[in-house]
Amino acid sequence: MRATITKIDQPKIGTYQASFIRVYFQGQEGGWYQTDVVPTYRNYKVWKPILESGVGTILDGLEVKHGFVQSKIDADSPAVIVGKKLQVKQEPLL
């Protein structure tokens, strides 16, 4: 699945005292998704450059996590960066 990062939360402490970063996406088909990335897990090496690329990063290879609600992305997905949306800064009208 292809999706664009819309928001990256600051690290939080989870139930098991592990720090995680929640990432939100909008799928190419218009659906909304999220995943949790844990810096101490092995898959972080895939997610680190993605997180550094930030909001607007377009990813491909995302997979919905089975056994969960349809909005949860599997953090073990073979995610790859395929582009970046340009964000236009608008000047206030005077």
Q: Of 64, 33, 39, 65, which Cα lies nearest the Cα of 51?
A: 39
Cross-strand partners of 13: 19
- State pLDDT tens for residues 57-78: 999 999 998 876 678 999 999 9
- State pLDDT tens for residues 45-61: 999 999 999 999 999 99
Cα separation, 1 vs 80, whole angstroms: 11
Residues in the chain: 94
pTM of the model: 0.84
Cα separation, 57 vs 25, whole angstroms: 9
